[in-house]
Amino acid sequence: MTIDYLERPAIVLGTDLKTGEHTRLLEGLVAIVTGGGKGVGKGISIRLAEAGAKVVIVGNANMTMAEETCLFIRSRGGEAVPLGCDLAKPESAQKVVDFTLEKFGRLDILVNNAAYQPNRDIVEYPTELFKKVMDVNLMSFLRLSMCAMPHLKESGRGRIINISSVHGKKVASFDIAYATSKGGVTMLTRELAVLGPQYGITCNAILPGGIEIEFKTSMEKGDLKEFKSIRVERSRKFKFRYKMGFPSDVGNMVVFLASEQGKHYNGTQIRADGGMILF
């Protein structure tokens, strides 16, 4: 499946109403995007770079896609570097922050987006697999936020943006661990939002749903075939009920929240689901 990552007009420029001067919204800022090499994360990485941010794209299983996304950003005049890291490991959070500071000297925006989704039925979930989902989808968000906070404070305009899911609020019968982790992300966002203002940091969550992305490449062939059939059946069932979106829809919202225009937003949970939660 081919996704157009340049779909939708980009929200990347701001205008000073007093001078009429146009500037890129995130010029000179530095961002981390976990899981930033494909899908929603790729859409976020591209939009951040178009808005002027230097981006560290953290990948794990498929570094090829992270590297390709960096090359694409550079081909358009942006700055991006890849970093391979297993975010399920507790020590990885500090590694990501240290790498970013070494590479760019500062940190202004943390986008927690990494997600692991085995798509197992509840009776098929081994304890260790459930724990891995929680380690990647929830605990890595907490660990990275903790490691990043001192540097986001130094920024003076620090932003934490967590990519949750509509399934943080809506039952996802296809993967109980994924939905449980995303519900945790939504609550973690609110807790961080309470702590952040004393350091000049805001924290918000975006809840995508119904976004056109590549199918997961790490699944076994049989699992992938079954998962596709579930997705196709659901898309047929709800075809005329909600509007599918693109990774760039989420990317535009991230840019807004990361910009000065978004500084009033804190602790919000913004659905980017085309109305999917209604059905």
Q: List, for residues 225-269, the tens digit of each pLDDT value.
A: 454 444 445 554 555 556 677 888 899 999 999 999 999 999 999
Q: Is 178 a catalytic residue?
A: yes
Dihedral of CA 115/116/118/124: which sign? negative
* 222: three-class secondary structure by DSSP: helix
Answer whether 151's CB lies under 8 Å from 201's CB.
Answer: no
How many Cβ atoms from other residues are within 10 Å of residue 223's Cβ? 14
DSSP state of 61: S
Q: Tell me which residue of 212, 277, 216 sits closest to 245, measured CA to CA.
A: 212
Residues in Cβ contact with 131 at an 8 Å cutoff, skipping those fewer than 6 apart: none
Burial 200-214 (b: 16+ CB within 10 A, else e): ebbbbbbbbbbbbbe
Q: Tell me which residue of 181, 90, 88 sits closest to 138, measured CA to CA.
A: 181
Tens-digit pLDDT profile for residues 150-168: 999 999 999 999 999 887 6
Which structure tokens are listed for 238?
């709800």
* 268: three-class secondary structure by DSSP: coil
Residue 180 CA, chain-centre distance (Å), reads 17
The domains found in the chain, sorted by start residue, are: 13-213+246-271 (3.40.50.720)
Model-level pTM?
A: 0.88
Residue with tokens 């240290």: 98
CA distance 89 to 74: 30
pLDDT of res. 245? 79
Which structure tokens are listed for 72?
């694409």
Residue with tokens 């949970």: 269
* Host H or E run for residue 142: helix 140-155
Q: Tell me which residue of 126, 264, 106, 137 sits closest to 197, measured CA to CA.
A: 264
pLDDT tens by residue, the chain, 279 residues: 566 777 777 878 888 778 888 888 999 999 999 999 999 999 999 999 999 999 999 998 678 999 999 999 999 999 999 999 999 999 999 999 999 999 999 999 999 999 998 888 788 889 999 999 999 999 999 999 999 999 999 999 999 999 998 876 777 677 889 999 999 999 999 999 999 888 899 999 999 887 777 654 444 444 544 544 444 455 545 555 566 778 888 999 999 999 999 999 999 998 876 767 666
Among 5, 116, 125, 178, the one annotated catalytic: 178
Which structure tokens are listed for 227?
């998962």
Task: Calculate the alpha carbon distances from 50 to 113, 260, 264 in Å.
Answer: 19, 16, 23
Q: What is the dihedral of CA 101, 29, 93, 160, to 10 degrees?
A: 150
* 213: three-class secondary structure by DSSP: coil
How many Cβ atoms from other residues are within 10 Å of residue 197's Cβ? 12
